[in-house]
Amino acid sequence: MGMYLSDPSHRADVNKQFREGAVNTAQLPGAAPAIRHIAPAPPQRLPMFRFIRLHLRCLLHLPMSRLLRLRLHPRRRPRRCPVNPAFDPGASLGYADKMGRPDTPPLTFPRAFAFDIRRRDGQYCILDTVRQRFVPLTPEEWVRQNLLEYLVRDLGCPRSLIAVEKKLDYYSKPFRADVIVYRRDGVALLLAECKEPGVRLNQLAFDQVAAYNQSVRARYLLVTNGLEHYCWRLDPAADSGHFIPVLPRYEAW
């Protein structure tokens, strides 16, 4: 019995035979009685209140920066701007729709223009190249900026001769003209009134721009909502006017 316990070679042989099933441990000298196999008890489930308490404890030990980065839903990929496909809403954003994504609908100008659109102080802003500053991007501002780019890039109007939201008086009542294009000698050539794309152009819009023109005295009156465009050319000599199908370039005004 002592030899069995102290001889490593003999112990290795017995272990090998035991693994092969040739040795009964109950028949070994000095062996303990065979023990009946007992199946382990199934693991106990943690009560719900202890489960919640443990998770709350883990969250409380996390730094605040980690807690702010926790997301309940995966981040959605922002939608590409339909006006400028090269514009990435992930870096620059326009005014938001219901999902918080940029919503800059395509307009019916001859071509699409690229804009510098960013998010500042919780709202979306667009760079006004005439005023040289960022302004809140609203549906009306979106139409106005497209109109400005059309006047400058397609019709050749100098940016230095364009006034945006100019303060004027109409019968002692102040108002703001959306866009005024001047001649080099300071005479107003065009007065434009911009509306949101969802606003229908009716007689009220034409009456409004005609009333403003009593202070501006421009030759061309333009009303647009980005989808429809109407231009009226005044003839001061005949004290009348007519609609024109195409607005000519700046040199022909």
SS3 per residue for 14-34: HHHHHHCCCCCHHHCCCCCCC
- Tokens 């590409």 found at: 80
Alpha helical stretches, state H, 40-189: 48-61, 64-68, 139-149
222 has pLDDT over 60: yes
CB contact at 8 A, 224 and 143: yes
pLDDT category of residue 45 using cuts at 50, 70 and 90:
low
pLDDT at 76: 45
pLDDT at 223: 96
Q: What is the tens place of the pLDDT at every residue in 189-204?
A: 999 999 999 899 999 9
Q: What is the DSSP letter of 239?
A: T
Q: What is the pTM of this model?
A: 0.61
Confidence at residue 49, expressed as pLDDT on a 0 to 100 scale: 57
- pLDDT at residue 168, rounded to an integer: 87
Q: Taking a C-beta distance cutoff of 8 angstroms, is the pair 114, 85 a contact?
A: no
Q: Rg of the chain's alpha carbons, rounded to an integer?
A: 40
Under DSSP, the state recorded for 249 is P
**Predicted local confidence at residue 100, as pLDDT:** 53
- Of 98, 57, 60, residue with least CA distance to 76: 98
The predicted structure's pLDDT at residue 136:
92
Range picked from 64-68, 78-82, 85-89, 144-148 for highest mean pLDDT = 144-148
CA distances from 16 to 20, 32, 35, 36, 224 (A): 6, 19, 20, 22, 95
Q: Per-residue pLDDT for 252 more than 60?
A: yes
In this predicted structure, what is the pLDDT of residue 133?
Answer: 95
Give me the DSSP letters along 137-167: --HHHHHHHHHHHIIIIIS---GGGEEEEEE
- Give the residue-averaged pLDDT of 23-36: 46
In this model, does residue 47 exceed pLDDT 80?
no
Average per-residue pLDDT for the chain: 74
- Stretch 174-188: mean pLDDT, rounded? 94
Give the domains, in start order, of the chain with CATH numbers.
Answer: 138-252 (3.90.1570.30)
- The C-alpha atoms of residue 200 and residue 59 are separated, in whole angstroms, by 53
Predicted pLDDT of residue 174:
86
